[in-house]
Amino acid sequence: MKRVAITGMGVISPLGNTVTGFWENILNGKSGAGPITKFDASKFKTRFACEVKDFNPEAYIDKKELKKYDLFTQYAIAASDQAIKDSGLDFTTMDESLLAETGVIWASGNGGIGTFEEQLREFHAGDGTPRFNPYFIPKMIVDIAAGVISIRHKLRGPNYCTVSACASSNTAIISAFDTIRLGKAVIMVAGGSEAAITASSVGGFGAAQALSKHNDDPQKASRPFDKNRDGFVIGEGAGALILEEWEYAVKRGAVIHAELVGGGMAADAYHLTGTPPDGSGAALGVSKALKEAQVGTEKVGYVNAHATSTGLGDMSELQGIKKVFGPIPVTVSATKSMTGHLLGAAGAVESIISILSLKHNIIPATINTEILDEKIPEGIEIITGKYVERPLEYVVNNTFGFGGHTATSVFKKA
């Protein structure tokens, strides 16, 4: 099996639209939450979100082309362009044979949901005559971001989309990892994007009792592991990674940010939206990832938890972690307390946090958590308040999705 290097990163997020700015805000414990501006949410029970701020698509996309792309694809283009630039790869001068060995696996849970809403509103507001935008379908379909990235850079290797709800982008990264390990590609662009701060999305998650209603103080609403947590804060954005066959990255003199050494995927097989209280699905994914990475639990310095700030979900995940680590102490934090829950993009954005944690020997904090839930298993240390500096060799990144999807990745210091 081939080794896999991470050589590029790019991000569009509620906490910044560059990796440097994003990481600085993570270290400063900043919240990306605020009142919803994407639509009129005044009649909704939840009226806040973690929106992307100051995004200028024309910095990446020609103004004439913008009409072809839903916002989730615009985010995907921006984050992937950043990651490609960071990697030092130049696809414009790359040999055709290598372009055929360079692919894209890009994820989204909701795809062009904003476009879908817009087109249906226009249809129902009219006289019933079907006057749909010719770009409606290609803007909406969930696989289109992967296709656009491929077309944009003439990448002719494996190209597809993964959809596993909020585990989608971690699934994409693991799939890209497997593709390189098996020798089916040399370079992969992988990640995910989401632009689902829309009326139907916020309304739907709200109806499912999944969203926080902390409207009086949005910045403190996302509080994973806190006794008084009341649901997640929806977010948007994109995260992109460049994965390369290790030998190729070394040969071309690339800066290697980290090594991806394991990926575990499993299923809760339990419930449409809930996770089993005993954390059995989470435990299976984590144990598979560590087994593939050939890493003992005692070497894992940090688990970046999925922890969305829902009552049952947070504790289920910790029970799963406890099943795997047993008596071995484990350090955990939940960066969704700052970013909000980026749904299908969460795994990619949190992979970037995991990689930066390894590079800088820093464990980010869980902000807003004031009273730790008394049901937190013994031996699990939750980092709250402010980040801590510790030597790190391996970091685990967890993601879970509606439908019982579990995806866990393991990163190693380069």
C-alpha–C-alpha distance, residues 275 and 320, integer Å? 10
* 347-366: average pLDDT: 98
Same domain, 228 and 180: yes
Same domain, 287 and 206: no
* 21-27: average pLDDT: 98
* 71-82: average pLDDT: 98
Residue environment code for 241-280, b if the CB has 16+ CB neighbours within 10 A, otherwise e: bbbbbbebbeeeebeebbbbbbbbbbebebeebebbeebb
Confidence at residue 127, expressed as pLDDT on a 0 to 100 scale: 86
How many other CB atoms are found less than 10 A from the CB of residue 370?
12
Would you call 166 a catalytic residue per the annotation? Answer: yes
Evaluate whether 408 touches 289 at the Cβ level (below 8 Å): yes
Joined tokens for residue 122: 């226009």
The total number of structural domains in the chain stands at: 2
Catalytic residue among 153, 214, 341, 405: 341
Digit-coded pLDDT (tens) for 234-292: 999 999 999 999 999 999 999 999 999 999 999 999 999 888 889 999 999 999 999 99
R_g of the chain computed on alpha carbons: 20
Evaluate whether 392 touches 361 at the Cβ level (below 8 Å): yes
Same domain, 226 and 286: no
Would you call 161 a catalytic residue per the annotation? Answer: no
Q: Give this prediction's pTM.
A: 0.97
Same domain, 197 and 320: no
**Is residue 57, in this structure, part of any structural domain at all?**
yes
**Confidence grade of residue 162 (pLDDT, cut at 50, 70, 90):** very high
Q: What is the DSSP letter of 300?
A: E
Evaluate whether 8 touches 87 at the Cβ level (below 8 Å): yes
In 40-167, which ranges are continuous DSSP H helix?
Answer: 71-87, 96-99, 113-125, 136-140, 144-153
Write down which residue in 189, 221, 251 finishes a domain: 251
Largest CA distance in the chain: 66
256, 255, 220, 236: which is closest to 348 by C-alpha? Answer: 236
**Is residue 258, in this structure, part of any structural domain at all?**
no
**Is residue 322, in this structure, part of any structural domain at all?**
yes
**Is residue 398, in this structure, part of any structural domain at all?**
yes
**Is residue 256, in this structure, part of any structural domain at all?**
no
**Is residue 257, in this structure, part of any structural domain at all?**
no
Same domain, 44 and 173: yes
**pLDDT at residue 174 is higher than 90:** yes
Same domain, 367 and 243: no
Judged on CB neighbours under 10 Å (0-12, 13-18, 19+), 305 is buried
Q: Residue 294 sits in a domain of what CATH number?
A: 3.40.47.10
Catalytic residue among 50, 166, 214, 405: 166
**Amino acid making up residue 341:** H
C-alpha–C-alpha distance, residues 319 and 212, integer Å? 23
Cβ neighbours for 247, distance < 8 A, ≥ 6 positions apart: 2, 3
Confidence at residue 188, expressed as pLDDT on a 0 to 100 scale: 99
Confidence at residue 123, expressed as pLDDT on a 0 to 100 scale: 92
Would you call 50 a catalytic residue per the annotation? Answer: no
Evaluate whether 8 touches 72 at the Cβ level (below 8 Å): no
Tokens 């102490």 belong to residue: 329
Same domain, 125 and 9: yes
Digit-coded pLDDT (tens) for 368-389: 999 999 999 999 999 999 999 9
Same domain, 355 and 312: yes
Catalytic residue among 153, 214, 306, 405: 306
Write down which residue in 251, 284, 302 finishes a domain: 251
**Is residue 384, in this structure, part of any structural domain at all?**
yes
**Is residue 371, in this structure, part of any structural domain at all?**
yes
C-alpha–C-alpha distance, residues 314 and 307, integer Å? 5
Sign of CA dihedral 372, 223, 230, 408: negative
Same domain, 183 and 231: yes
Confidence at residue 276, expressed as pLDDT on a 0 to 100 scale: 87
Same domain, 214 and 267: no
Judged on CB neighbours under 10 Å (0-12, 13-18, 19+), 205 is buried
Q: What three-state secondary structure class fits 205?
A: helix
**pLDDT at residue 351 is higher than 90:** yes
Domain encompassing residue 385: 263-413
Digit-coded pLDDT (tens) for 175-228: 999 999 999 999 999 999 999 999 999 999 999 999 999 999 999 999 999 999
Q: What three-state secondary structure class fits 9?
A: strand
Digit-coded pLDDT (tens) for 87-126: 999 999 999 999 999 999 999 999 999 999 999 999 999 8
Confidence at residue 274, expressed as pLDDT on a 0 to 100 scale: 85
Same domain, 242 and 303: no
Write down which residue in 251, 286, 314 finishes a domain: 251
Same domain, 238 and 326: no
